[in-house]
Structure 1
Amino acid sequence: MNDRQQPGWYVFDYGMVISTAPEPEDWEALEEAAGIPLRHPGSSYWLHRLDYDQGKLDSRQYWSRVLGRDVGVGLASEMDSLDAIQWSHLNLDTLDVLELLHSRGSRLAVLSNMPAAMAEDFAGAAWTKYFARLFFSSGIGLTKPEPGVFRHVLDALATAPAAVTFVDDKHENVRAARTLGINAIHHTPGIDLQRELGL
């Protein structure tokens, strides 16, 4: 089978594409453990998140910055567990699309900004069965929308940008991928992903 006949790569973001938004009770559990509010966009949870996703901070360092005090291994592990739980609610419509693509022989990968602790927590999760490759920012050392993230994935997949369809919910990530020649689709949560992909 030559390259033209082989199915292309579909590369999916995780949060808000494969998973749905955290539920209010998830944030409540995380905030109860932290003792401070975290869900609002300007909170310390988000302020230090890219550094955590990129692997610049380990678990204790991240949660110490989030909570504003020194955090031990036990509390850091608890916070990581609660954090993983709140991002573990799967989008059933997306799973249907993954099942369809997988049944057609399409090659699937994940590219997500995700800290190492969460990536480890999700290792072996049921949704990973659809994917031939999993790329997480903490393992790459870069976060989307940095161009180097996409170049890393293209090199690892040994494929041309035009052979990749990338799905993400953030405009800046989609724009960065398109700049490199990747067929990038902006997914709007709640919109039919199958229609967005033209399947």
Structure 2
Amino acid sequence: MTGTVLFDLFGVLAHHQSTEGKYRLARTAGVSGPAFWEAYWALRPSYDRGEVTGPGYWSQVAGALGARFDRRRIAELIEADIATCSAVNETMVALVEELVASGRRIALLSNIPEELAVHYETHHRWLQHFQVRAFSCRIGHAKPEPDAYRWCQNALREDPARILFVDDRQNNIQAAEATGMRGHLFTTPTRLRESLAQWDAARSPS
């Protein structure tokens, strides 16, 4: 068994925001409709890369909406934002445990702000299994930027061809493959198992 499996977090090991969670977040902001989400996502990359803090990000969102969030509202928004992204895929967590037990080397690459990264490190001990945890807020690069993948390659000291990147977004997979990695577009744990078996078989000596 050779090579490293580099996992995405949200959409693979953890669930994306739920409808209920999104409703809570917009309700906390006091702004509903497309305008809120346009501001939320448009300003997110700098937050994910650690260029602004949580309070700074939410102040920017307020400015884009023509609103004002006081410190209490910002604290509530940070808490609600974390809550919307805190549900993990238990089946995939079990698969991670299985891979580690079998001797598989694993790593993590996630677009994630500092407050959410701290939440995961505090509440999910299984993160300790990852030999490299590349959180965008700490490495200064976010997917699908090529430097995000190159940072992982350097940290792992691994040939890109020996890294299988697992993500649920096609553009992130294509960006990883452009740096020399192999890619697997995640849909189900079963399909991932099949892909890992095929990868191992292709790398085994005949």
Provide the TM-score with structure 1 as the length reference: 0.87
Larger fraction in helix: 2
2:139 paired with 1:137:
no
Query: Which string of whole-angstrom CA distances, capped at 9 and with x for unpartnered residues, describes residues 8-61 of structure 1?
Result: 211101111111122222112211211112678952111111111112222122
Change (3 A) 1:37 1:43: farther
Determine the C-alpha separation between the residues in 2 that align with 1:40 and 1:185. 34
Determine the C-alpha separation between the residues in 2 that align with 1:151 and 1:28. 36
Alignment RMSD: 2.3
What secondary structure, in the 3-state scheme, does the structure 2 residue paired with 1:145 have?
A: coil
1:1-199 equivalences under 5 Å are 7-37=2-32, 43-68=38-63, 69-126=67-124, 127-188=126-187, 192-198=191-197
Aligned AA (1:111) = L
Determine the C-alpha separation between the residues in 1 that align with 2:35 and 2:189. 21
Determine the C-alpha separation between the residues in 1 that align with 2:171 and 2:62. 29
Q: Return 5+ residue gaps in structure 2 as ranges.
A: 199-206
Asked if structure 1 preserves the Cα contact closer than 8 Å seen for 2:10 and 2:110, the reply is: yes
How many Å apart are 1:181 and its aligned residue?
A: 1.2
Q: Return 5+ residue gaps in structure 1 as ranges.
A: 1-5
Determine the C-alpha separation between the residues in 1 that align with 2:152 and 2:84. 27
Change (3 A) 1:160 1:81: same
Change (3 A) 1:136 1:64: same
Find the structure with the greater CA-based Rg.
Answer: 2
Determine the C-alpha separation between the residues in 1 that align with 2:134 and 2:189. 25
Provide the TM-score with structure 2 as the length reference: 0.84
Change (3 A) 1:111 1:160: same
Determine the C-alpha separation between the residues in 1 that align with 2:161 and 2:48. 27
How many Å apart are 1:137 and its aligned residue?
A: 0.7
How many Å apart are 1:142 and its aligned residue?
A: 1.3
Determine the C-alpha separation between the residues in 2 that align with 1:116 and 1:122. 10
Give percent identity, aligned residues only.
30
